[in-house]
Amino acid sequence: MNLNQIMTDLSYFIPEMMLTGILLLVILFDLFQKADTSIRSGYVALGGLILVTIALLGQDVSTSVGIFSNMLAVDPFGNFLKILVTVGTILVMWMSFNSNELKNRRVGEYYTLLLTLVLGMYFLVSATHLLSIYISLEMVSIMSYLLSGYLKEQMRSNEASIKYVVFGAFSSGILLYGFSLLYGLTGSADIFEIQAALSAGTVSPALMMIILVMILVGFGYKIAAVPFHFWTPDVYEGAPAPITAFLSVAPKAAGFAIIIRFFNVALSSAGNPNMEAWAALSNMDWQAVMGILAILSMTVGNVIALQQSNIKRMLAYSSIAHAGYMLLGVVVADQTGIAAVLYYAAVYMLMNLGAFFVAIHIKNEFDTEEIEDYKALGYKAPVLGVIMAIFMFSLTGLPPTGGFVAKFYIFRALIEYGDMYFWLAMIGLINGVVSLYYYMRVVKAMYFGKIELPDTVHHAPVNITILLSVLAIPLLFAWMLGDPLSTFAQNAVQFFIK
């Protein structure tokens, strides 16, 4: 690797370099703010992220390349997820400006940490080396610990953050031990060479099984799949609400990205990824393991969500269930399956952020997070009520919302993949029915039951109404076939392969 090579590689690295520059700029800018509680550095961060999004959209990824000695890959798959997490972060920042929890405190470092987390996710979605996977995973995790404990004088926030850090450090340690064994058995830390060594068939399947279980602990914790989900409800309830919304969407998408890339590139058969994923693991039924994780996540998430009365906690368990639906697409792991997961991640981002944002606004205005207190909200705040109902319908997966289309793609991929997988789709469908109950409880509280009509009608501020409409309107039109998002997702299923 010579200097010229590095210069060429850097030309593929422009969005990341821009983001790093903006990050430093925000730190400097914050130093020169007179008022301690000024949120102007947040506006700088927001503007910077919009520029980075434009750079990402304009980036030419038609030829996938590996950069920095195959540490990172620049390919359509990574590009799609980078855009996804950046858009998610922009929306979360928008809501952070309106959050009461973050008012009157120094927020300069809040936005700095958030941007660092985004940078970590950029590396995570394009990592192709055990070292870069581990470093980027830690970068995302450490920033998440800090952000979830951001309200440090609040007992709940501290508790969320200590639970997060204990579970996180433990599972990343296990992941690392798995990586070290994988490195020893295959003789390389580069996932392309690992793939070559695995398809040569010299590695003992039993050892490989143990290693993959260890690796799955680390990855499963990042996407909050059962049985690695114990931190989720407490962290989601205790963290500042905008961060909860963020954690349930962006790092989860990045976690899915690394799972898909790792299993699809490192463990596929030689030179033929996407077609015969899992081929290097022919001696064991790895797909069944993923399928069981998916079933457990969906069922446990949905059943426990039924009993929750706090809306943030209910959404936390429902996010576990949604990780299960997305894992169904990972089980398929072919072109349609991965496109379905990407589409699901994008739609899930819109509807879940939306639901959290309504909850944040209601907490700001009415000071409650209990679902019971949403009573008559549909009459007290008509616009908010309708928008919340759209998010709830979409999270359930009722037609004609985006949530329905996303679930449809996942189930279609499963059924097309083989008759054996029909029962997995059926379990997913039954889980959808279970989730109907708790999502509709919110709608019921808002519109039905004994209701005294309020005297005054609450109107949300214009910028919040715009933000929520930006999230809700695409969900209503997702059923149109060939919508741009699904085309985008289908084109994004291309990995860099050495």
Partner 1 sequence: MDHLSSYLVLSAILFSLGLYTVVTRRNAVAILMGVELILNAANINFVAFSKFVTHNLDGHLMSVFIIMLAAAEAAVALAIVLNLYNDRGHINVDEANALKQ
Q: Name 485's Cβ contacts closer than 8 Å, sequence gap at least 6.
A: 343, 346, 347, 474, 478
* Residue that is written with structure tokens 């076939």 in the block: 481
Smallest gap from Cβ 21 to partner 1, in A, equals 22
Helix H or strand E segment including 9: helix 3-11
* 239 vs 332, beta carbon nearer partner 1: 239
Among 68, 97, 183, 366, binds partner 1 (CB under 8 A): 183
User: Which region, judged by CB under 8 A, interacts with partner 1, from 138-146, 280-288, 318-326, 431-439?
Assistant: 138-146
Nearest to 374 by CA among 386, 387, 385, 383: 385
Q: Name 18's Cβ contacts closer than 8 Å, sequence gap at least 6.
A: 48, 51, 52, 55
Site string for partner 1, 214-233 (x = CB under 8 A): -------------------x
* Residue that is written with structure tokens 């290693």 in the block: 211
Q: Does 180 bind partner 1 (CB under 8 A)?
A: yes
Q: Does 158 bind partner 1 (CB under 8 A)?
A: yes
**Cα 473 to chain centroid, rounded:** 21
Query: Which of the 8 DSSP states describes residue 452?
Result: P
Smallest gap from Cβ 237 to partner 1, in A, equals 5
Q: Does 240 bind partner 1 (CB under 8 A)?
A: no
* 173 vs 382, beta carbon nearer partner 1: 173
Among 64, 70, 90, 138, binds partner 1 (CB under 8 A): 138
Torsion angle, alpha carbons of 324, 480, 441, 95, to 10: 80
Dihedrals φ, ψ of 310, to 5°? -90, 130
Q: Does 165 bind partner 1 (CB under 8 A)?
A: yes
Smallest gap from Cβ 207 to partner 1, in A, equals 12
Question: Rounded to an integer, what distance in angstroms lies between the CA atom of residue 304 and that of residue 337?
Answer: 27
Considering only residues 285 through 304, tell me which ones interact with partner 1, judged by CB under 8 A.
none
* 102 vs 389, beta carbon nearer partner 1: 102
* 217 vs 332, beta carbon nearer partner 1: 217
User: Which region, judged by CB under 8 A, interacts with partner 1, from 151-159, 218-226, 240-248, 323-331?
Assistant: 151-159
* 167 vs 417, beta carbon nearer partner 1: 167
* 201 vs 461, beta carbon nearer partner 1: 201
Question: Rounded to an integer, what distance in angstroms lies between the CA atom of residue 260 and that of residue 492?
Answer: 13
User: Which region, judged by CB under 8 A, interacts with partner 1, from 131-139, 331-339, 343-351, 476-484?
Assistant: 131-139
Among 237, 369, 385, 401, binds partner 1 (CB under 8 A): 237
Token output for 168: 């996180």
Q: Does 156 bind partner 1 (CB under 8 A)?
A: yes
Smallest gap from Cβ 149 to partner 1, in A, equals 5
Token output for 421: 């997988």
* 189 vs 290, beta carbon nearer partner 1: 189
Among 43, 68, 97, 177, binds partner 1 (CB under 8 A): 177
Residue 249: exposure state from Cβ atoms within 10 A (0-12, 13-18, ≥19): buried
C-beta of residue 88 within 8 angstroms of C-beta of residue 122:
no
* # chain residues binding partner 1, by CB under 8 A: 42
Question: Rounded to an integer, what distance in angstroms lies between the CA atom of residue 221 and that of residue 458?
Answer: 40
Question: Rounded to an integer, what distance in angstroms lies between the CA atom of residue 221 and that of residue 68?
Answer: 28
How many other β-carbons are positioned within 10 Å of the β-carbon of residue 98?
18
Smallest gap from Cβ 371 to partner 1, in A, equals 14
* 238 vs 329, beta carbon nearer partner 1: 238
Q: Name 338's Cβ contacts closer than 8 Å, sequence gap at least 6.
A: 77, 260, 264, 274, 329, 330, 332, 493
| Binding positions for partner 1, rule: CB under 8 A | 130-131, 134-135, 138, 141-142, 145-146, 149, 152-153, 155-156, 158-163, 165-166, 169-170, 173-174, 176-177, 179-181, 183-184, 187-189, 233-234, 237-238, 310, 313
